[in-house]
Structures are given as C-alpha cells and as structure tokens.
Chains A and B, each alone.
Chain A
Amino acid sequence: MLGRNFPYFNSVGGFYSRENSRRQPGTGYTSKVRVRDKYHIVGFISSGTYGRVYKAVGRNGQGGEFAIKKFKPDKEGDIIQYTGLSQSAIREMALCSELDHANVVQLAEIILEDKCIFMVFEYTEHDLLQIIHHHTQPQRHPIPAAMVRSILFQLLNGLLYLHTNWVLHRDLKPANILVTSSGAIRIGDLGLARLFYKPLNSLFSGDKVVVTIWYRAPELLMGSRHYTPAVDLWAVGCIFAELLSLRPIFKGEEAKMDSKKTVPFQRNQMMKIIDIMGLPHRDNWPGIVHMPEYSQLQSLAMSRAPNHISRTSNLGSWYQNCLKNGGYSVNSSVGTPGDDGFDLLSRLLDYDPTSRITAKEALEHPYFKNGGPISANCFEGFEGKYPHRRITHDDNDIRSGSLPGTKRSGLPDDSLMSRAAKRMKE
C-alpha cells in the first residue's frame, strides 16, 4: 500500500503535514502523538451531532481494528478555533478512561491533535440496530431466543457495572449496544452518561432532554426532576421488546421544543406507552400524582373516549402476539423466552421507577436462572451470518484540523490529493 512505503502520503488521507515545529513557549499545545502516525484509516462508519466515526487499523506492528471517533470542532468562520470542549465530550473522555468492563466499550486511547479530539475505541463489527434490521430482511425471521437471552444478560451485566459505579448511561438504544464479531456485547456511546453520586447541580438542570424518545422512561416524559438508574432499565425493557418483535415497542413522535425552549409534554410518546401498558394510576405508580406533567396526563385521558383508553395493561397480549408472530415456541428451532421472559419484561417496563427491577435484580431473574447456561458469545449456536459494518470511502480523510471546505493556506488541497492518490493506486 502506498502509504506504508511513502512517508509523505497516507494512502487515503492525502498529503501529510509534518509536525509543525512551531512549539510555542508556555502552554502552546502540540500533540505528542499523531493519529495518522499510529492508525491507518480504512473508511468512514457514521456521523452524528458529535462528529464522525472512522474505521482504522493500527500501524507499525500495532495490530487490531479500531473505531476512531472524531469530535467535531467548533468553527468560527472558516478557521477552526479552540473554543472549549463540550461538557459531553469531557464526560465521555473521563468516563471511558475510567471504565473497564467486558460489557462496556473499550477505549484504546485518546489523542488530542490540531484542535480535534480523537477517541480510539476497539472496533465492533455489529450493533443491535443492525442485527434487528438484518432480521427484517428480506422477510421477518426471529432472533433466536438463546441469542436474545445472552444479549440481554450481557447488557444488564454491563449496566450493573455502570450503576454500581454511579454512572447513568441515559441513552441506551439498539444503535448504542455494540456487538463484537465474537458475540460480546459492549455498551457504547457514553456521551450522555454522567455520574449520579451527589451531583452539585440536580441531574435535571444540566441537559433538559435526555434519551432518544422511543426508549425514554415514563418518569422523564412526566417531567421528573429526580431520575435514577431506573431510566436505563426502562430502556433495556424497550430493547428486550424490540429484539423479540423486531420493531420499537413504543414508536412515538417527538414533540419539538417551541421557540421559548420549554420542553413540551411528549403526548404522542406517552400515548404509545399507554396503548400497551394502560393508563398509569396511583395503584401502579403512587408517585405519579406528584409528577410535574400529571395534569397533562389527566387531560390526555379526558380527551380520549373512555373506551379508547385502556386502564389495564395489554402487555400480556402484546407479548403473546409477539411470540406467535415471531414463531417463538418450545418446539421451534428458535426456542422461546417463555413466561419467565414475560415476567422480566413486565418488571423492566414497570411504570413506577421506585419498584422497577434493578440491573442486579434482573440478573438474578428466573429468565436467566432457569433454562441452562448463558453463553458469553451471543452468536453461539447461531447458523446465520450478519453482514459486516458498512464502511464507505467517500470520506476517509480524518485529517486533523480541517473539514471539507476549509483549506489551509500553504498546503495543497488534501481532498484532491487523496483522490489523486487513489487513482494512482488503481
């Protein structure tokens, strides 16, 4: 490969700027490690509000595959400036450096270079979103019950580790649950995670909206200010349901913030939950009357014709339908999560956050206790093959400092160079 032999070219990254030796006195910052000296960028994985993720392999004998998350720098005009890092980037860096558990994403290193942050993670071939999607193609075929059980067990195990260390994840959803090619579950994306041990400010005050709406716990929808690790367990319940039915269980539409930046009551999402779980009331959620959005809930209940709003839970029939449609049964090859699975699901989707099952209790649940050993490889015994993570090569340029459209003076345009280099290779 070109980049390996020719020191001034990265085969995909374009022109290589040598260390600019303008080491200032004082606190002028120059990274001691350069991303492209250590890693060869293979392709682009995904992008989000935080920035972009690239797939990379180690250079210079450092084996292995990596996912490098590059945080988007703030831009002022055309020039990237140091503007102070976001609190979520700080949290993610600090937590990932501290955490060490088989079911939590593994950080290799963090490189701060040319005004950008590069978090280098181990590479994971799959995630639950991709696995669920795969089971809907070309037609729906269920995820084997044993695999669901292993996924859930590992997920709860990672979550127990986070919670015993006072870390709330706050954004659990299938896309954030990573799966290695050997079937290990890793909880990923700690961008919203934070410590909940006696925070200086109440947990509510920092970020007003938390958790992707479909996985958002009812107490958050009801405006709770004192939320707890229970929010993560609600999300696990939603993920459990989605693994079985291959569809989000509560697929609501998010009401956007109005111009005054007040957080609206998420009426539609709450209704999706009520459709299956029934209307929450004092008996199954004693604290509900103290919830800030309680009056909204009452008006929601009033606005519907009495017959159109369920007072009792329909989760049982939802579950039975789900097993039937998925072909889950004792006699089938996919097996069944059975009654224990239903009991665990209903304990995870408990309206009352104070009685909702904890990660520790969930791991002790009969669903895991009964039915034999659980493999640490969720793919064990699974015949099928999941496609590899899709990597594109449109943007292989992890090049520090500049984003498309920002040219640095004195250097050739990197993107042109990289295209030229590719052509040369071909």
Chain B
Amino acid sequence: MAANYWASTQRKHWLFTRERLAEIRESFKEKDKASHTHFPLPDQRLLNIYFNQQLIKLGKRMSTRQQALATAQVYIKRYYTKNEIRNTNPYLVLTTAFYLACKMEECPQHIRFVVSEARALWPEFIVPDVSKVGECEFSLISEMQAQLIVHHPYRTLSELQPELSLTSDEVALAWSVINDHYLTDLSLLYPPHIIAVMAIIVAVVFKPSSQTAFHGSAAPIAGAMRDGGMNILAALSDKGGAGPPPRIQKLIAWLAESEVDIKAVIESTQELVSLYEVWEQYSEKNCKELLGRMIRSKSLDK
C-alpha cells in the first residue's frame, strides 16, 4: 500500500528480473526489425541520461522537486516496458510523464503551462495543443493500470540517517547516488530499500572529497567502487581481523544484522559502476539527432 512497499503494486507488478526485461526488449525488436535497423538508438542508459537532462530542464522552469522528476522517470521506464520507444514521440511521453508525476506528487502544474514550457524547449517535437498531452496521459495511465504510486529510496535514506548516524555530506552523496540510479534499470529490478542501502554504502565507503567530481568523470570512482564492493564482501565474510575503519565497521555490522539482501546490494552497486563507465560515451548531440531523425521519419510528432 501507499506506505507499505511489501503490499504495493510496485512490488507486485513493476518488479522485473533482468531476464524478463531483456525478453521484453527482445520481443519489441522481433516485432519490428526494420525500425530497429533503420533507427538505431544509443544505449538505454545514455538515453536515460538524455531524458533525465531534458526533464530537469523542464522541471527547472517550474521549480519542481526532485521526487516528482524521479516519479516521472519511473513512469517513462514502466511505459517503455509496454511500448516500443520507436512507436512513440519520446518528447511527448516525457512531457506527459512529468505532468502526471507532478499531480501524483502533489505539486500539480497546469497542462497549458507544461505544454508551453515543453514547446519552448522542444519546438520541433511538441505541438501547441494540450489535447496531445491529455491523450498521452490516457495512454500512460492505461499502460500502468493506474498504478501510479511510486516508492522511492529517498524515504528509506532519511529513515536510516539517524540509525546509521550519517553525516549531512554522506546523506547528500547518497541522495545523488539515488538520483543517478534512475538512469539505469535498477528501479525496475530492486526494491527501493536495496537502492537506499546501496547508496549509503557508496557514500560512506567512497566519501569522495568533492561531490562535483562524481558525475561525468566517473571512471576512477567506478574503479574505486568496484574495489569497495569487494571490500565489503570481504569484510562481511571475515568479521574478525583488522578490517576497515570503525565508521564502515558500524555500517557492516548493521548490514549483517539487518536482513537486507546483500547480494542484491552488491549487484546494484555493479549496475551503478557500469553506468558511470558508459557515461563516458554520452553525447547529448548524438541522442538528440538519433531521436529527432526517428521522430521525423516516422512522423511520430503528428
């Protein structure tokens, strides 16, 4: 339910195995091989980075909170498990997901305002007609079976902050790791508390001196994280020994005691590592061009 992740539609209907996700995507490809050949798109994660940057631009002009953007990102991901992206106008889906998420997260924006802002950002792809967003909203809600309540890891993070006596720097870093996880499939693969624990581990273990170095130039951090993940694994299996500093020991002790699925936490750390690695290849221009060509050739903006 709304407060209870374990009884939620998110857990019942929107949690996939990696295999299942791959299967779904493969089936889209099978159905329309021609489109896939003619309209290659960047790696899903690179597209997600692009979508996220566009959402932030849209949200900024309306001073939207992060949680609404996070919900919009989850809606987009869910939607594209039901629909092949090559049959949609992603800019319209993005705008609509944003519009719907704002209502759901109690910071509603008027549809006219959202459409005019979206049109200012992407004049080629958004027509000045609110009914397009209205219609796409039906499509989104229907594909998600009106299961619109999303559980985010932010809440677990703030609940664990006092318990693990996290510093405000650590919380800030964990928060940005959570922001980043929406760029991967993680929110479709693991429950929010796994992501929160992963983010806390990353924040406490790596503690980068400055947060600004975190995005983009991720390769060194990625390497450090991979080793760090191993360290935790090692420490968990070997509870004696000199081991890591007390702060990390405390976290490890908590992890061992809690019934958190450690394997899932490690896997999600690895997912994040590979995100930072693939980030190197990100090119906004490339995403924009490939999407633009697809939309125009297939008249998806009409």
Contacts and interface: CB of A to CB of B under 8 A. Distances in A.
Contacts of A31: 142
B38 interface: no
Q: Is the interface of B mostly helix, strand, loop or mixed?
A: helix
Interface in A76-126: 81-85, 87, 90-91, 93-100, 110, 112, 115
B130 interface: yes
B149 interface: yes
Nearest to A95: B2
Given A26-B87, A26-B302, A84 B145 contact: no
A110 B108 CA distance: 22
A406 interface: no
Contacts of B106: 194-195, 199-201, 206
28 contacts: A25-B87, A25-B299, A26-B87, A26-B88, A27-B132, A29-B135, A29-B136, A81-B131, A81-B134, A82-B131, A82-B133, A85-B137, A87-B103, A87-B108, A90-B103, A90-B104, A93-B141, A93-B148, A94-B147, A97-B146, A97-B147, A110-B141, A165-B2, A165-B4, A167-B2, A199-B106, A200-B67, A200-B68
A254 B134 CA distance: 35
Interface stretch (B15-23, B92-100, B163-171): B92-100
Contacts of A50: none
A27 B93 contact: yes
Interface string B65-88: 101100000000000000000011
Contact of A28 (B4, B65, B135, B149): B135
Contact of B148 (A25, A94, A115, A198): A94
Nearest to B111: A84
A32 B139 CA distance: 10
A28 B93 CA distance: 11
Interface of A: 25-29, 31-32, 81-85, 87, 90-91, 93-100, 110, 112, 115, 161, 164-167, 194-195, 197-201, 206
B9 interface: yes
B147 A27 contact: no
Given A25-B299, A27-B135, A82-B138, A164 B88 contact: no
A37 to B, nearest CB: 15
B3 interface: yes
What 4 A-B pairs are tightest by C-beta distance, nearest first? Answer: A82-B134, A84-B111, A94-B148, A165-B1
